[in-house]
Amino acid sequence: MNSKFFINALKLLCIALGILILSNILSAVSSTRTVAYIKIGEITYTVTPYKNIPLKTILDKNNIALNDKDIISCDINKPIKPLQTVKITRITKELKKIAGNVPFIITQRKEYTSNLRKVELQKGIEKNIIKTIEEISHNGVLYDTVMLHEKTTTKEYYRLALFNKNDVIEKIYDLSKVKKMKMTATAYYPGDPLAWRDGTITFLGQKMQRGIVAVDPKVIPLKTRLFISGYGYGYAGDTGNLIKGKRIDLGVNNKKEEKSWMFKDVTVYILEKTDTYN
């Protein structure tokens, strides 16, 4: 009697255990089929779909905000189905300005070779280009670039190229950026009786020659490279008793050339100080 009772009880226990296991399995399957997914880039949200509740409400309940430009794979005003994956693409747009330029294009040039070194006065234009673009990103990854606007400005100016002994450009000065002044020019030459030491030796002890100019050191420091309109390259290497203020005395070759420069108005470009006069 006790044996039969034990066997029957064991059978009932097995049946109950089986029902419990089956119930858990069915519950797990049921719960799996009652979820849906919302994917934004690499992030996936698990949500519960409802038969009569639209996607918009589900998004609100899960604190998922939409931006005006976002792309959604289904209608937010309709419900979603179990196991459905809704894809949301975040669209961002950023304006950027890109600057570029077309290098200096020479339109006119003039060489000066009579002074201490060869120089070339160059007239030309330079173009600056500013592009306004819009970068479109999908979920933080660049997707497309759109050109919105392009503006080109042209600048015309003069520059001075200095050549070395091998006839190679050593340095270029943008004359639109250096200091310049209007001055009154006179001239002197080697052996000029009115010049200090007959114009043969300069104040700095250099040999007098075309290209050496006398200045007022209070206006233009000695040992300064210059460019003088119509004259060419000059080096501030001398002074004079009468050279005061905005006066400049140009070294020339002879008396005849001296007369052609007497009391002429010139523009003097102050390039830079250097111990190397040529």
pLDDT in tens, 207-233: 999 999 999 999 999 999 999 999 999
3-state secondary structure of 10: helix
d(CA 51, CA 63): 20
Q: Which has more pLDDT, 165 or 160?
A: 160
Distance CA 92, CA 88 (A): 13
- Residue 214 is encoded by which pair of tokens? 């006398």
Q: Please, where in the chain does CATH 2.40.40.10 lie?
A: 178-273
User: Residue length, the chain?
Assistant: 278
More confident residue, 234 or 206: 234
pLDDT level of residue 197 (50, 70, 90 thresholds): confident
pTM beyond cutoff 0.75: no
Q: Measure the CA–CA gap between 200 and 190, rounded to whole angstroms.
A: 5
Instruction: Please check the confidence at residue 30 and state whether its pLDDT lies above 50.
Output: no
Query: Per residue, what are the HEC states of 103-126?
Result: EEEEEEEEEECCCCCCEEEEEEEE
What pLDDT is recorded for position 29? 43
CATH number of 178-273: 2.40.40.10
* Topology given in CATH for the domain delimited by 2-91: Ubiquitin-like (UB roll) (3.10.20)
Q: Where in the chain is the domain with CATH 3.10.20.90?
A: 2-91
